[in-house]
Amino acid sequence: MAKGSEGSFLSRLKLNKKFLLMYIFCVIMPLVITDAILFKSVFDAERRNQTFYREKGIEAYTNYLDDLLASDANVATAIDLNDNLNKFINTGYQIPYDYYNSYINTISNSFFSTMSDMNQKRLVIYSDNQTMLSGHYFHNLSEAKLEQWYPDFIENGKKEAVYAYYDDAPVVLTTDRDRFIYVRRMTNTRSSITKIITIEHKKSWIASEMNDIPVNCTMYVCCDDYVIYSNQNNADYNSLLQRLNQDPYVTIQEYEKFGNTFKIYAFTEDIALASVIRNNLPVLLIIVIFTLLFPILIMKMLERSITSRISILENAFGEGGNDIFQPIKEIKGTDEISSLMHNYNRIVDINNELTNTIYKDKLREQESDLARKNAELLALQSQINPHFLFNALESIRMHSILKGETETAEMVQRLAVMQRQNVEWHEDAVTIEEEEEFINAYLQLQSYRFGDRISFNIDISKECKNILIPKLTLVTFVENACIHGIESKSTQGWIFVRVYKNEDHLVIEVEDTGDGMDEKEVELLQENMNTVTIDTIKKAKHVGILNACLRIKMMFKDQAKFSIESEKGIGMSVIIMIPSDMITTA
C-alpha cells in the first residue's frame, strides 16, 4: 500500500526534534514565565509582610505610649483631686516645725507616696509657697524654672504636657539625664498658690517595657532630635538620619499628645533578591522542582520511552502477514509514528489470528469448567445422606414389631415414593409441588415412628408450586428438623413448612418446635450455610444441610441467602431468601 503524501513540515520532523520544540515552546517558556510571575508574587508578598510588620510595630508602640500617658494623667488627676494634699500645699507655715508635722501627717494619711513609687516613677510637686521646705516630693517653683520643660509649659499656658530630652545640666545632678516627664497644673482648688505636678519615668524602665513588645522590625521613638527609645543598640539621632537616607523601607507616624509631637520610625531590611530567595528557599525550590525540573524530566523520559520503543516495534511489526482487519487507508508523514502505522497494517492479521485463537481457547476453558461443575454437582448429589432409607426401614421394623402388619403396606408405599425420588437423578431440578409430595411422604413415615410426638403443617402458596428448585433440598431441612429437633424431645413437637412470595423474594421457611440451638452454634451454622463450598462440605458436621445449601446457591447463581432463628429449648427456624428475578418455573 502506498505511503501517501509526505504531509506537513511537522509531520516530516523526527520525534526528537518535535520534543525539542515542545520543550522550548510548551514547557520551558511557559514555566519560565510562570516562575517569574510566582517569584514576583513571593517578592510582593514579602514587601507586604514587611509593611505589615512596620505598621503593627508602630501600632504597638503607640498603644504603649497611650497607656503610659493615660496612667500618668490618672495619677495626676487623683493628686489634683486630693483635698488634704491641696490644703497642705496652700497652707502658710510659721516655722519649719509646723511644716514638718503637717508633711508627715499628710503623707502618712494619703496614697500619695504609693502612687509616686509605682512603675519607678519620680513624682514632684512644684509650688510657690515660700513657707514650704524643698525636698523629696515637694519643691519650690523657683527650682522648676531651671528645668528645660518650664519655659515652654508656662509661656504657652499649657494645662498639661509631656516632654522628652537629654538634660545636659540638670538642676539635681543624677546618673540618669534622660528625661521623660509628664507635667500638669493643679487647678482643682482656688488658691493664689501655683502648683505644678511632674511625673518622671526612668528611661531604663521605659526601655525595659518596650523591649517586651514583640516586633519584627527596627524601631525608633523620637521627640524632636532626641531618641527616647530604640531596639537598635547604640542608636542615636545621627544614626537614624543616616538610615533614613539609605533605607527606603521605613514607615513614619507622628504621635501627638498634650501639644507635643513624637515620631515613631519602623525600619525593615532592604528586600534584596538574595534575601528573598534565602527567606523563601523551600518554597522556591518546590516551585522550580514541580514547575520546571519535574516536567522537563518527565518529558525527557517520555521522549526516550517513545523513541526507543518505536525502533523495537518497527522490527517486531516488520514480520507482518496477511490482511484481514481493516488497515489504515492513508498514512501521512515520514517520522517514526508513520513507520509504526505502516507496520500496524501488517500486524493486524497476526492480531486477528491471535484473537481467534484466544477466543477458541476461552470457549474450551468454559466448556471444561462447565463439565467440572457438572461433575461437582453429581458428586454432591451422590453424597445425599442415605439414612433417609435406613430411617424409613427402621420405622417399618419398629411398627411391625409393635402393631403387626395392618399398616405395613401403606408404609411401604410411602417408602417407595421416597426411594423413587432419591434414585432418579437424570434431572436435578423439580417443582416445589413435587418436592412437597416427597416432604409429605417423609413426614407421614416419621408419624408412624414418632406417633403422637410429631405433628406437621405444609403451607405452600399456589403461585409458588411451579417454581423449580434443586431436588431433595427442602426435605433435607425437614429431615434435619425431625432428627435434631423432634427426635430429641419427649413431648409433642411440630414441623412447619411455608413457601410464599414476599415483595421481590421467594421465601422458604422450615420451622420446628424442638430443642433448638445456642447462639454460638447458630452463628457458626449460618456462616457455613452462606459461605459453603465443596471443600467446606468435606470437613463439615452438618453434611446434608450444607449439601442442600450449596446446590441451592449453585442453581440460583450464589444469590440465595440463608438465615437461622433459634432459641434453646423452644425451637428453630431456617429461612431461605431467593430473589424473584433468579427463579424459573416449569
Q: Cβ atoms within 10 A of the Cβ of 379, count?
A: 12
Interatomic CA distance for residues 145 and 142, integer angstroms = 5
Residue 150 has pLDDT above 50, yes or no: yes
Residue 80 lies in a domain: yes
Last residue of a domain, one of 267, 293, 313: 267
> What pLDDT sits at residue 318?
47
Residue 200 has pLDDT above 90, yes or no: no
When pLDDT is cut at 50, 70 and 90, the band that residue 258 belongs to is: confident
Interatomic CA distance for residues 80 and 189, integer angstroms = 8
Residue 382 has pLDDT above 90, yes or no: no
Residue 253 lies in a domain: yes
CATH code, domain carrying 453: 3.30.565.10
Residue 355 lies in a domain: no
Interatomic CA distance for residues 511 and 474, integer angstroms = 12
> What pLDDT sits at residue 250?
86
When pLDDT is cut at 50, 70 and 90, the band that residue 371 belongs to is: very low
Torsion sign (Cα): 205, 206, 209, 210: negative
Strand order in the sheet with 226-230: 226-230, 218-223, 260-267, 250-257
Residue closest to 573 by CA, chosen among 494, 455, 460, 488:
494
Which one is predicted more confidently, 422 or 469?
469
Residues 548 and 401 occupy one common structural domain: yes
Task: List the Cα angle 322/324/330 in 5-degree steps.
Answer: 90
**Strand 429-431 relative to strand 468-470, pairing:** antiparallel
Mean pLDDT of the chain: 77
Residue 42 lies in a domain: no
Residues 256 and 392 occupy one common structural domain: no
Question: What pairs with residue 563 in β-bridges?
Answer: 575
Which triple of cell numbers denotes residue 169? Answer: 545640666
Largest CA distance in the chain: 155
Mean pLDDT of 126-133: 89
Q: Which residues contact 515 (CB under 8 A, 6 or more apart)?
A: 484, 485, 488, 489, 568, 569, 571
> What pLDDT sits at residue 242?
79
> What pLDDT sits at residue 285?
75
> What pLDDT sits at residue 401?
60
Provide the residue count of the chain: 586
Task: Count CA atoms closer than 13 A to 99's CA, side-chain side.
Answer: 16
Mean pLDDT of 101-128: 75
When pLDDT is cut at 50, 70 and 90, the band that residue 353 belongs to is: low
Mean pLDDT of 91-117: 78
> What pLDDT sits at residue 530?
92
Residue 48, SS3?
Answer: helix
> What pLDDT sits at residue 363?
59
- The H or E element containing residue 497 is strand 493-502
Residue 383 has pLDDT above 50, yes or no: no
> What pLDDT sits at residue 98?
87
Each as own residue / partner, the long-range contacts of residues 277-280 (CB below 8 Å, 24 or more positions apart, any chain) are: 279/46, 280/42, 280/46
Interatomic CA distance for residues 479 and 135, integer angstroms = 120
Residue 523 has pLDDT above 80, yes or no: yes
Last residue of a domain, one of 218, 245, 267: 267
Which one is predicted more confidently, 546 or 308?
546
Residues 260 and 390 occupy one common structural domain: no
When pLDDT is cut at 50, 70 and 90, the band that residue 277 belongs to is: low
Torsions phi, psi for 338 (to 5 deg): -65, -40
Residue 330 lies in a domain: no
When pLDDT is cut at 50, 70 and 90, the band that residue 305 belongs to is: low
Residue 277 lies in a domain: no
DSSP for 130-151, please give it.
TTSPPBTTEEEHHHHTTSTTHH
Which one is predicted more confidently, 305 or 247?
247
Residues 115 and 259 occupy one common structural domain: yes
Which one is predicted more confidently, 443 or 47?
443
Interatomic CA distance for residues 440 and 513, integer angstroms = 18
Mean pLDDT of 165-182: 74
Mean pLDDT of 85-95: 88
Residue 30 lies in a domain: no
Last residue of a domain, one of 245, 267, 289: 267
When pLDDT is cut at 50, 70 and 90, the band that residue 210 belongs to is: confident
Q: Which residue intervals of 81-202 are DSSP H helices?
A: 83-90, 96-108, 112-117, 141-144, 150-155
Lowest mean pLDDT among 324-333, 429-438, 509-518: 324-333
Residue 421 lies in a domain: yes
> What pLDDT sits at residue 559?
92
> What pLDDT sits at residue 562?
96
Q: Cβ atoms within 10 A of the Cβ of 124, count?
A: 20
**Which residues constitute the domain of residue 260?**
57-267
pTM passes above 0.75: no
Q: How many domains does the chain have?
A: 2
